[in-house]
Structure 1
């Protein structure tokens, strides 16, 4: 059943006497909404401030390059042309002079309860009109990509801008739907999440047994009107 709640950060429970003795900080809440159980996906409204989002866009804009793909066995840049048409850059928190990414990274660690040391640098992306990312998995199947030293467990997407039309993050296989229709990885179907400035989306790529969740297939629908900026934090099962 879908629902919502709030993750406590910065403190724990306990009675008033224990709180006084230990001088525990007053916990802050990180509200969230459960979007789906297949895949496991949570939505975090107003996760970042408008100022933080604008600072990330400003920092990344001068570094943008055409986005690339991790290639599977037998693939080449030529054969995969058109799958991912955005531009982007990788940014670590240390490379952001405004401090916005460090603040966001710390909050992501609290929301996911996974240490900052398990996160890859942010992949900041810009999608202009018509640009998209065909459906794909964030985790790497060793049979297709070769042996992996670590695996991507989860992805946290922070939307840095509103998008007037299009640009949704979509999960075509939610609840096992569309898996037997000959889906071509291009259609924008299934569960769709509209980008809203400052909101976050967390989803898990792995099942509890460590195998890739087939319903975590996802993509970015083409932008129809406006421009989409998003910062993605991939979280792994081992310290990087």
Structure 2
């Protein structure tokens, strides 16, 4: 849909979605989560979104409000740093063991035998996560994840609606970049040379979520190692 390849010949099914490395250090594993895992994670996200320290809108220092709403776990993210207290003054929710287990397995599956070549991957110890909810029409501008004090990989899990994800370069928000269509259940890990690449969501594709999830819009769970001393 977002490339220049010719259409499949008449009668051909959709092209198989396979593992890819869109940039050095970035690995996309399609359909990494099965339906049971997606349902479990959506249910967990609903619990994490409840107040106190629940889902909230983020106001940027410029005064604008992000179209994406989010909830933080382990450490509360704000532009541009981390705190132990959430937006409503309540203590941030603890980082769940569920996400730690998923993230360590994700990094191992992404890099395999090359895990020792990626900074922070072999000894990956995630301690914070951000759950982003994209309602219809929401997007996220190109940015770098630079608020952590570690260069360990970022693990990104997609749930619900498909989206057009833009993976850029580490120097500027301008080209070159690569556009990826992320589907529910996809895993994207970016570390090593891609760890500080600019990235964002150009748009979501409303109505593409599996009805079994009971989810409106898109959820994105990003898991990180903060590098901040407790």
| TM-score of the pair, normalised by structure 1 | 0.57
* Contact 2:173/2:198, CA 8 A, preserved across alignment: no
Which ranges of structure 2 fall in alignment gaps of 5 or more residues? 1-17, 75-92, 116-120, 208-216
213, 218, 228: which one pairs with 1:228? 218
Structure 2 Cα separation of the partners of residues 122 and 86 of structure 1: 15
Structure 2 Cα separation of the partners of residues 202 and 110 of structure 1: 10
Moved over 3 A (4+): 91-96, 99-103, 172-179, 235-240
Which ranges of structure 1 fall in alignment gaps of 5 or more residues? 1-30, 70-76, 141-147, 180-188
Classify the secondary structure of the residue corresponding to 1:168. Answer: strand
152, 164, 181: which one pairs with 1:194? 181
* Contact 2:57/2:70, CA 8 A, preserved across alignment: yes
Aligned length: 172
**Partner residue, 2:152:** 153
* Contact 1:161/1:195, CA 8 A, preserved across alignment: no
| TM-score of the pair, normalised by structure 2 | 0.59
* Contact 2:26/2:188, CA 8 A, preserved across alignment: yes
**Partner residue, 2:106:** 108
Q: CA deviation at 1:199?
A: 1.3
- Give runs of aligned pairs for residues 59-138 of structure 1, distance below 5 A: 59-62=44-47, 63=49, 64-68=54-58, 77=60, 79-82=62-65, 84-91=66-73, 100-111=98-109, 113=115, 114=121, 118-138=125-145
Structure 2 Cα separation of the partners of residues 203 and 80 of structure 1: 30
Once the two structures are superposed, what CA deviation does each residue of 1:73-115 show, in whole Å capped at 9, x if it has no partner? xxxx451514x3212223469765xx75354134124235436
Q: Which has the larger radius of gyration?
A: 1
